[in-house]
A and B are shown apart, each in its own frame.
Chain A
């Protein structure tokens, strides 16, 4: 069991600053995802922790010990790569044994431990196969077992599911998460797939441009993003321009075009500058025109089997609503929209100078 702390981590490649001061604390046995668009520095963060890249500034601590000057082979990490990086000239069993041989574990114990590890990832039948003779999902499981069999202090995964097809990816999500819980290992998981980050993690760290924009539980990130950019990156978000007026009691009044007044909780962050309001598509109800807080007209309707997505033209701009398939509203029909004040969430607008929490 190990805690990982990053303290103002900076990484420069020549003039480009890939990481601009990353601070993060990962608790014992916690599963933390690094989520962000391509090039935001997720892999760089992981490489710095693994020791493949030298940090330009800041500290990396495992259980309060600064390890940022240690060589990768002395850091006691297990790593899973996007390409799996299985040794092609070794069988599954030999791949698993490699890390144990490096640690000079006695032969008998190696045999026991790789047997247990192969059992854990359900690959005992393929012990003598070469990686080329395995499917993508099986190779992935070997990579996972190889990283875990050495019982490392922490587990690092860099987009491990990116090369799998959608169905297998869903399966592997659950598999990795279950395994991680059973082993109880502190885990950092890099992905640009927000669904993956949300379903697997204890905590999601959203990164943009080499900085952490928000680090919180999946629910918190989804319901209470601290910036418009986070709101848009994680799931679908309607960002509405409404007249916002603060009240004395820590709440905000929102005035809708029809004159309706909504009273919402005022978020702790960035209350100063301009505010806009986030409404998730499934948190908006579709009603008869007269019953809505605002009115609109359905411009597009997309049926997906599980639900229907409506694109509604309103006085506050286009609004996306996701409704159960029991609704039968056609394109061109007039509708009303109702917001749940409990679920509306004001966010600092993108133009506001201070984005996110520092």
Chain B
């Protein structure tokens, strides 16, 4: 890793941010015709559209930076499982509405801090993507915060269910604040975001909403790592890739 070039680091970095968007967007798109009301379904689909849209811009930028004539679709459809560097939090199965809201909320708090920092990147393209994405994730944060509060402070059943979702997903939050080699390298030039430095604000934002939602913030314990740094995923991930890449793998080299 010592000889990671700046160019390769930039490609990895843009793709890795894109992976988070694509994979969580994929999970949310699985809610199609399964949500408790049409309005809720449409809100989730809307967020899925935003997140997959972010992935497209980031993959296109990664492809440009790489300069090998690849496209956004090469990144989504022709890389193998271990090439994806999304955080594990984005890939775990949807579970029930509470699990899905908790995941979106934890991720949106992170995304808001992340993209507002990325908007100040020395890399103009990443800065522009950061600024645009910030507006979108701010909406996701509002939507998911409202649901955290409704579920947490709704019925005792919803309170218990959503607390359990929090407790189950918490183990995946630590990974968001780890730094990869590419991130460390790009940080020196003010291109990447120092995500380790976002942790304090993240904790604070989480605590505020949890208080309103009458939920308990779990203690930071064991953090499950793997996706972001090494492309070592959960068992669930292979099925996402199998689904997503099925057409491209079955009919290679076609225009769609």
A and B interact = no
List residues of A whose CB falls within 8 A of some B CB. Answer: none
